[in-house]
A = this chain, B = another copy of it.
Amino acid sequence: MGLIVQKFGGSSVKDAAHIRNVAQIIAQAYEAGNDVIAVLSAQGDTTDDLIRKANEINDHGSKREMDMLLSVGEQVSIALCAMALEKMGLPVVSLAAWQVGIFSTNVHTDARIRRIDEERVRTELDRRRIVLVAGFQGVDRQGDITTLGRGGSDTSAVALAAAFQADCCQIYTDVDGVYTTDPRIVPNAKKLDVISYDEMLELASQGANVLHNRSVELAKKYQVKLEVLSSLERKPGTQIREVAQVEKTNIAGIAKDTSIACMALVGLEHNPGIAFQVFDLLSRNHINVDIILQSIGRAGTKDITFTLHKKDLEDAEEILLERKDVLKFDHLETTERIGKVSLVGTGLLSNSGVAAKMFEALYEANINIQMINTSEIRMSVLLDEEDVDPAVRAIHAKFFQD
C-alpha cells in the first residue's frame, strides 16, 4: 500500500475499449489499497488531427497557439478515462496541468517543468479519489498553457512521482519491457528484469524508443523507481532503478541509431583552437554532435569528422560554409548513409575482453567499422547504414546466445 504513479501513452488510450482497459489497470492498483495518480497522453491520432487542422489555416502558427490547441488532446483522454472509472463506481477526478499546478518555463512546445503544486492533488488523494492528470502539458507563470516536447507525458509522470514521493512510477506502453535489443531485428532478444538508470539512458539515447531520456534523467535525479510494462498483458515489465554495482561486467543490451549523419571538415590548418571553434559554433546554433574523430590529412593539414542528427545536417553545412574563410578548411564531405550500433552495460571500459568480443563479432560478420566511441557504460561503432541490422544480430548472438 502506497502511492503509485501510472502513465499511459497514446496507443494505450486510442479508443473506448483501450480506455476501459486502462481504467481496469488503474482500478486494480486503487483497489489494492494504493493512492493512484495516472498520467494520460492524447488518444492515438488526436494530435495529428489537430496539427492537420492547424496547417490548413496556418502552417506557421505561433508556438503559443499550437500549445493551446494541442493540449486539448490530453484533456479529452483524462475526462473519458474518468467516466470509465465512474462507470466502475470508483471515485475519480481529472485535472489539467494548470489545475494541478504543473508550472513550467514559458518555452512553448518545449517547456521544462519548474515546480509542481501539491495542494489540489493531495486534497483529492486524501479523499481517496483516483487522480487523472493530463500529460505533456504545463502552465507558465503568466497562466499560459505550455507543452513539454518529445516524451513529455513520461516526464509529467516522473515529475509527479518525484513531487509526491511515489513508491513507483509505472510507464505503460505497447511493449512489455526493455529488451537486450530491438526484437524486430533479433527475434530472440531477451527482456530485462532490471536495468540501471545509466544503462537505460545509454540504451534510450542510442535509439531504443521505450522511454525518452529526459524522463530517465529526471527519475535518476530524484531516485524515482521506474517500471516499463505493457498495458495489454498483465505481467511484470522492466524495472529501472539504481542497481547495486558489482565488479562483474554486465551487458544490458544493444541499441541502434540510424537517424544520424556524418560530416567531415577536410584539410584544416593545424591550429590548436580549431576544434573548439567548430564545435562552439555548432553548439551556439543548437546542433549537437556525437562521435568526433580527428585525423591527420595530407600535407600537414588535418580532418575533423563528426556525427550529428540527420535533421541538423543542412543547417550545419550552411553555418560552417559561411565561416569557411575563418575556419580555413578545404572542403566539406557529408553522408547520411551511416548508422551507429552501441553495446550498453556496466563495467564495459574496465573489461577489455568486451571490446575484443564485439570487434570479433563484427569481423566474423564481415562488417567494417568506420569510427569507434566509448563511454563508461557504452561502446559504439559507426557503420555503413546497410550493416546496422546485421551488426546488431551478430553482436547480440555473441553476447546473449553464446
Q: Which A residues lie at the B interface, using CB under 8 A?
A: 16, 19-20, 50, 53-54, 56-58, 60-62, 64-66, 68-69, 71-72, 75-76, 78-80, 82-84, 86-87, 93-94, 96, 98-99, 120, 143-145
Contact residue among B56, B72, B86 (Cβ-Cβ distance under 8 Å from A58): B86
Tell me, rounded to whole Å, the shortest Cβ–Cβ distance linking A66 to chain B.
Answer: 8
A120 and B143 contacting across the interface, CB-CB below 8 Å:
yes
B58 and A87 contacting across the interface, CB-CB below 8 Å:
yes
Alpha-carbon distance between A87 and B62 when the two chains are bound, in angstroms:
9
B residues near A54, Cβ cutoff 8 Å:
79-80, 83
Given A16-B53, A68-B75, A143-B120, decide whether A83 and B58 contact each other with a Cβ distance below 8 A: yes
Alpha-carbon distance between A145 and B71 when the two chains are bound, in angstroms:
15
Supply 20 A–B pairs (Cβ within 8 Å), ascending by A: A16-B57, A19-B57, A50-B76, A54-B79, A57-B84, A57-B87, A58-B83, A58-B87, A61-B83, A61-B86, A62-B83, A64-B93, A65-B83, A65-B94, A68-B79, A68-B94, A68-B96, A69-B79, A72-B75, A72-B76
For residue A19, which residue of chain B has the nearest CB?
B57
A82 and B98 contacting across the interface, CB-CB below 8 Å:
no
B residues near A83, Cβ cutoff 8 Å:
54, 57-58, 61-62, 65, 69
B residues near A82, Cβ cutoff 8 Å:
61-62, 65, 68
B residues near A87, Cβ cutoff 8 Å:
57-58, 60-61
B residues near A71, Cβ cutoff 8 Å:
75
For residue A123, which residue of chain B has the nearest CB?
B142
Tell me, rounded to whole Å, the shortest Cβ–Cβ distance linking A143 to chain B.
Answer: 5
B residues near A19, Cβ cutoff 8 Å:
57
- The main secondary structure of chain A at its interface with chain B is helix
Tell me, rounded to whole Å, the shortest Cβ–Cβ distance linking A338 to chain B.
Answer: 38
B57 and A20 contacting across the interface, CB-CB below 8 Å:
yes
B residues near A76, Cβ cutoff 8 Å:
50, 53, 69, 72
Kindly name the residue among A58, A61, A76 whose own CB sees the greatest number of chain B CB atoms within 10 A: A58
A78 and B68 contacting across the interface, CB-CB below 8 Å:
yes
Contact residue among B50, B57, B66, B143 (Cβ-Cβ distance under 8 Å from A99): B143
Tell me, rounded to whole Å, the shortest Cβ–Cβ distance linking A119 to chain B.
Answer: 10
Kindly name the residue among A72, A83, A145 whose own CB sees the greatest number of chain B CB atoms within 10 A: A83
Alpha-carbon distance between A65 and B20 when the two chains are bound, in angstroms:
16
B residues near A80, Cβ cutoff 8 Å:
53-54, 57, 69
Alpha-carbon distance between A75 and B69 when the two chains are bound, in angstroms:
7
18 additional A-B residue pairs with CB within 8 Å, beyond A19-B57, A61-B86, A99-B143: A16-B53, A16-B57, A20-B57, A58-B84, A58-B86, A58-B87, A60-B86, A60-B87, A61-B79, A61-B82, A62-B83, A65-B94, A68-B75, A69-B79, A72-B72, A72-B75, A72-B76, A96-B145
B residues near A64, Cβ cutoff 8 Å:
93
For residue A23, which residue of chain B has the nearest CB?
B57
B residues near A78, Cβ cutoff 8 Å:
68
For residue A75, which residue of chain B has the nearest CB?
B72
For residue A16, which residue of chain B has the nearest CB?
B56
Alpha-carbon distance between A98 and B61 when the two chains are bound, in angstroms:
23
B75 and A62 contacting across the interface, CB-CB below 8 Å:
no
Alpha-carbon distance between A50 and B65 when the two chains are bound, in angstroms:
22
Alpha-carbon distance between A19 and B145 when the two chains are bound, in angstroms:
22
For residue A120, which residue of chain B has the nearest CB?
B143
B residues near A53, Cβ cutoff 8 Å:
16, 76, 80
B residues near A120, Cβ cutoff 8 Å:
143
What are the 10 A-B residue pairs with the smallest beta carbon separation, nearest first? Answer: A61-B83, A69-B79, A72-B72, A58-B83, A58-B87, A68-B79, A16-B56, A65-B82, A65-B79, A57-B84
